[in-house]
Amino acid sequence: MSMQAPVPQQARILVIDDEPDLRTLYELTLLREGYRVEAAGDLLQARQQLSENRFDAVITDMRLPDGLGLELLRDMVSQQRSERCVVITAHGSAENAVEALKAGAFDYLTKPVDLKQFRSVVASAVQGAKHPAPASEKAQRGTPDTGIAPLSLPLPMAADTPLILQKLVGESAVMRAVKSRIVKVAGSMAPVLIQGESGTGKELVARAVHGCSHRAAGPFVAVNCSAIPENLLEAEFFGARKGAYTGSAQDRQGYFQAAKGGTLFLDEIGDLPLAMQSKLLRAIQERTVRPLGSAQEDPVDVRIVSATHKDLVAEVQAGTFRQDLYYRLNVIEIHVPALRERREDLPDLCKALLARICQESGFPVPDLTDSVLGQLRALPFNGNVRELENTLHRAVALGDGSELHFDAPAEEQVAIPENLQDYLDRQERSILTKVLLENGFNRTAAAARLGLSLRQIRYRIARLNIVTPGNEDPADGLDAADDPA
């Protein structure tokens, strides 16, 4: 028997396969692991078993004599059953695997099934699986126990909400939708693609997906794909054997090995070069990696969560991102809204950020007045929550400790001139004079520096009455043809 966590209360598994030899192999493997096993050879028998019993996990072949395993999976989802379903697909059928995950499968296996991987996937499915409550208890509660929260239901932010979700500050409609989706997808192994602008908190969402899943006790490994030199990518991701490259004095594990049993978060996935994209795709599909310098592949057990601020559909169309990798990563998508899409969350965000900033810096938490909030609401915040945090950090550092004083950016403080044309002329004269001085009063060079033609700069020198060496009269030589208008 393999060394694994104890089987909870002799977990019960339903195996569905029309090939007697394979069905027997799966049964014997699971019995040796300490599970109770029931078997079915087609959809009809499987539905009968499910109507009479409850299980911790269901393992079904994709193709059965009387239909597809996906039909059974969709029935289970529509009935809000709690069993986690693992689908077995034909080797190389990536489309079927992705379809199964999108339909609600916990995970998938490809034929020929590797028994070590089979045991690992079943153990993951059983771990944290929830039995449906008895009918009498459901009636008392008035709501079904589905094991996962339906996306259509609002997610209450009560005291029993997972701590990691409470870190996602905000009760706007868009943020509640994000939190509900996190709870919805956390119960499967399906890859998640998190999309949103820079500074919106994509890594925090990834950590929430991990923290709400059965893998929460495992490692969360975050990787910034854009920060790794291209020549080190393979060793960083897949590891390397001693002597694989110059300076490699010992075996080293890669990110896939470091995230074993947990979640691998690939941030800025859109920045991976094409050569590495193909290797990543193979690792995800085969669930194996080959360390540099190794002759064999090692199995890996990770859930992939990725993020990007780029439009990956546009990147696919431009040929800079592999279409097959995009569809493999984007099984479930979570969009993180920009700050301008949830301005009603500003008060809560400011309070949470100020509390953390002041705790770290040792300053007292200042009052957040309506006046300051009004100023903050008026800003575009193109840098999103990260920019808001920097703005508050600066305000705390420059404040008096009792009340938050917010200084708008310099461009917001420009006084309105009494005469706009005079003001613009002064600014233009100052810039022209500075550039002319820097270029030794060479009009051709100054014009090139400013993106002007020689005729345009001559016209401006004359109009603004700028005196240059050797030309006491700025209008000298200027005729009507010099007017750029």
Distance CA 372, CA 124 (A): 49
- The reported pLDDT for the residue numbered 471 is 59
CATH topology of domain 163-335: Rossmann fold (3.40.50)
What does the pLDDT look like over 75-111, one tens digit per residue? Answer: 998 888 888 999 998 766 677 888 888 888 888 888 8
- Rg (C-alpha) for the chain, rounded Å, is 31
CATH topology of domain 12-126: Rossmann fold (3.40.50)
What does the pLDDT look like over 310-364, one tens digit per residue? Answer: 999 999 999 999 999 999 999 999 999 999 999 999 999 999 999 998 888 788 8
Q: Return all residues near 240 (Cβ < 8 A) that are at least 6 apart.
A: 248, 251, 252, 254, 291, 292, 293
Closest CA to 381 of 333, 416, 335, 349: 349
Q: What is the mean pLDDT of residues 404-425?
A: 67
- The reported pLDDT for the residue numbered 156 is 37
What does the pLDDT look like over 374-402, one tens digit per residue? Answer: 888 888 888 899 999 988 888 887 776 66
Domain ranges of the chain: 12-126, 163-335, 342-412, 420-482
Q: What is the mean pLDDT of residues 240-249?
A: 76
Closest CA to 191 of 174, 160, 171, 213: 213
Q: What tokens does 126 get?
A: 């059983």
- CATH class in words for 342-412: mainly alpha
- Same CATH topology for 342-412 and 420-482? no
Q: What is the mean pLDDT of residues 9-14?
A: 85
Q: What is the mean pLDDT of residues 203-226?
A: 93
CATH architecture of 420-482: Orthogonal Bundle (1.10)
3-state SS class at 257: helix
Distance CA 197, CA 201 (A): 9
Q: In residues, how long is the chain?
A: 485
Q: Do 303 and 266 touch, CB atoms closer than 8 A? A: no
